[in-house]
A and B are shown apart, each in its own frame.
Chain A
Amino acid sequence: MKRRFDLPTFLVGSAAAFVLAFIYLPMVVVVVYSFNPDAVNVFPMRGFSLRWYRMLLDDEQLLAALRISLLVALGGTSIGLLLGVPGAIALARHDFPGKRFLERIVLLPLTLPGIVTGVAMLSFFPLIGVPVSLLAVLIGHGTFLIAITLTQVYARLRRLDPSLEEASADLGAPPITTFFKVVLPNIKTAIIGSALLSFTLSLDEIPVTFFLIAGDNTLPIQIWAMMRRGISPEVNAISTLVFAGSIGLILLGTALGGRDKE
C-alpha cells in the first residue's frame, strides 16, 4: 500500500469532512446547548445543567402537544397501513380500469409541495363536514402516509415473484390463506419499515398540519410557536429529545428492515 501524500485525495477528503461537519455541527450545537445552565445560548458555555429538561416536565402545553403528536402519528400510520398495503397489492398484482391514474395520484402528496396539499385540504375539508380540527389533521396525515406505505410495499411486491402466489392458488389455497402464508411473510419487513418511516414523518410534519390545526398543537407546531415567541433553551432540550427519538426510530427501522435488503 502506498501511503504517500496525495493532493487530489486530500482535497476531496477535506471537502467531504467539511460537508459532514456542516451537516452535523448544527445538531451537535443544539444537543450541547440543551445542557446550558444560562438562559442565553452564548459561546463559551458556562457549566452543565439539566434545568431545561426539568422545565420540560412541567410544561403542560408541551406535554399535551407530545401526546397529540403521538396520537396523530399512531392514527395516521394505521390509516396508511390499512389502506396502503391493500392498495399496493392491487397495483402490483391486478389490472383494473383507472390503474394508471391511481398510480399517478398516489405520488402527488410526496411530490407536490406540502403547502399546496395543505391549502387544498383546508379549503375542501369543511365542505364535506370536516372542520379545521385534529380530525382534519389525522385525515391529512393518513393521506400522505397511504402514499408512503403504498410506494414502499409496492416496490417490495415488484421484486417478489408472482408465481409463488400462483403456485399457492394452484395448490388450492384461498386468497386469504395465500396472503397470510405467502405474501405477508415476504413483505413483512417492508410493512414494518414503512410503518416506522410513517411514524417518524408524521411526528415531524408541519406544512399540512399548519393549515388544518385548530388549537391543539402537535409537537412540531408547538416548537414552532415557542420559537416565534423567542429563543428559550427549553427548545434546545425538547429538540434534543426529538433528535434522539428520530434516531432511535431510524435505527430500529434499519435493524428491522435492513436485514433482507439486496
Chain B
Amino acid sequence: MDTAPAAKASIHAQTPPKRRALLFLVLPPALWLLCFLVLPYLGLFFQSFLGTNDLGDVVLEPSLDAWKAFFTKTLYRSTLLYTFKIALTVTSLAVLFSVPLAYFIAFKVRRGKELLYSLIIVPLWVSYIVRAYAWKIILGREGILNSFLQWAKITDAPVEAFLYSEWAIIIGLVHIYTPFVLMPVYTAFEQIPRSLVEASKDLGAGRITTFFRVVLPLSLPGVIAGGTFAFVLTLGDFLAPVLLGGTDNLMISNVVQNLFGTSNDRPLGSVVGIVLLVVVVALLETTSRAEKSFASLESGRGRGGLGAQPGSSGRSPHRPTGGAR
C-alpha cells in the first residue's frame, strides 16, 4: 500500500541526522506499545499455559489444564456458539436497518444531506452506557413500554418478557452498533457513480432491478466492513448481556469477565481471551480479503466489467476509525 512517497522518503532516511530524528520520533511510542500492549498480550498467552493453586491463584508451573478444560467442558463451546448466534442476529439486523436509511440519504435526499448524515454519525460517539441504560428504562417491568401499553389499555398487567431476555440484548446491541454499519454503507453508496445508475435505467432496468443488480453489489465492501464491525463488537461486549440480559443469557465475554473476577481462574480466562482474539483476527483477515475482492470487481475485472471507477481503487476507505470498544 505504500508507494512512491515512502520510497522517496527512505532515500533521505539514510543520512545520520535524519536517523537520530527518527529514533527520537519512533522510540517513545514503540517502547510504550511494547511495554503496555505487546507484552500484556504475550503475557496473556503465557498465562493460559500456567496452573493454579487451591485458592485459584496463578502459579508459575507449566500446565495444560486450562486448555483441556476449555475443550472438554461443553459450557465454553456452547457459550461461544450462543455468542456467534447473537452476533449474527445483531449483524443481520444492523445491516437490514442501515441499508434503507443509508440509501435514502445517499440517493433520495437533496437538501440537508450533510445534516442528516451527521445525525446518524453523532450516536456513534454518544456514551455506550447511556444508550444501554435507555433500553433498561424502556423495557423494564415498570418501564416506559409496559406503562405505555397499560395506559393505552393494550395490556392490563406488565409484560415480564421485555427486559432480561435474549431479545433485549439483541435490540440493545443493534441500537448501539447500527451507526457503525451505517457509516461505511453510506460511504459506499455515495461513491457509486450516478452515471452507472442512470445507465442501468437507460438500458431498461427498473429501479428495483437497478438496486439489486447495480447499487447493492457495488456497496458490498461497505456492507462487509460494517457487518464485520457489528459482529466483532458484539463478540467483545460484556456489558449489554449483564444489563439487559440478566443472568441467564451470558455471552463469551461474560465468561472471560467472570473468570478474571468472581470465579478467579486466570489461566482459563486467558484461554478464552486468546480464543476470542484468534476468532476476531481470523474474521478481520477474511473480511478484509472479501472487501478487497469485491473492490476489485468494481474496477472492472469481474462480473462482466462495470467500468473502471476513479477514487475506489483497492484500498477501502470504509473503515471508520475509532471503534475502540
Contact = CB atoms under 8 A, between A and B. Distances in A.
Interface of A: 8-9, 12-13, 15-16, 19-20, 22-24, 26-27, 29-30, 33, 40-44, 79, 82-84, 86-87, 89-90, 92-96, 98, 102, 105-106, 108-117, 119-125, 127-128, 139-140, 142-144, 146-148, 150-152, 155, 158, 161-162, 166, 169, 175, 197, 200-201, 203-207, 210-211, 220, 223-224, 227, 231, 235-236, 239, 242-243, 246-247, 249-250, 254
Contact of A239 (B40, B130, B280): B130
A111 B126 contact: no
Contact of A204 (B47, B97, B127): B127
B43 A124 contact: yes
Contacts of B239: 206-207, 224
A108 B9 contact: no
A34 to B, nearest CB: 11
A106 B34 CA distance: 10
Interface stretch (B23-31, B219-227, B295-303): B23-31
Most buried by A among B133, B140, B237, B284: B133
9 contacts: A23-B123, A120-B273, A148-B321, A166-B12, A204-B128, A220-B127, A239-B134, A246-B125, A247-B122
Given A95-B13, A250-B121, 7 more contacts: A26-B134, A30-B137, A93-B9, A94-B22, A120-B41, A146-B29, A204-B128
A109 B143 contact: no
Given A110-B322, A227-B133, A115 B26 contact: no
Nearest to B137: A41
B53 interface: no
A170 B182 CA distance: 46
Interface stretch (B61-69, B71-79, B144-152): B144-152
Given A83-B32, A112-B280, A90 B22 contact: yes
B270 interface: yes
Contacts of A113: 232-233, 235-237, 253, 276-277, 280, 325
B128 A116 contact: no
Contacts of B207: 8
A79 to B, nearest CB: 8
Q: Give the bracket for the number of chain B residues in contact with chain A.
A: 35 or more
Interface in B240-285: 243, 253, 256-257, 260, 266, 269-270, 273, 276-277, 280-281, 284
Contacts of A23: 120, 123, 175, 178-179
Given A12-B103, A96-B26, A120-B41, A26 B324 contact: no
A116 B276 contact: yes
Closest 4 CB pairs of A and B: A113-B236, A26-B134, A87-B29, A16-B104
B100 interface: yes
Nearest to A28: B134
B290 interface: no
Given A119-B260, A204-B128, A250-B122, A111 B280 contact: yes
B175 A26 contact: yes
A124 B40 contact: yes
Most buried by A among B119, B144, B256: B144
B37 A108 contact: yes
Given A143-B32, A227-B243, A120 B9 contact: no
B136 A227 contact: yes
A196 to B, nearest CB: 10
B10 interface: yes
B75 to A, nearest CB: 18
Given A110-B324, A120-B41, A12 B130 contact: no
Contact of B151 (A44, A108, A150, A223): A44
A24 B131 CA distance: 10
A151 to B, nearest CB: 5
Contacts of B105: 16
B41 A15 contact: no
B179 to A, nearest CB: 7
Contact of A139 (B36, B131, B233): B36
A94 B9 contact: yes
A112 B277 contact: yes
B208 interface: yes
A43 B129 contact: no
Contacts of B136: 227, 231
Contacts of A96: 13, 22, 26
B101 A20 contact: yes
Contacts of A242: 127, 130
Contacts of A117: 37, 40-41
Most buried by A among B22, B179, B266: B22
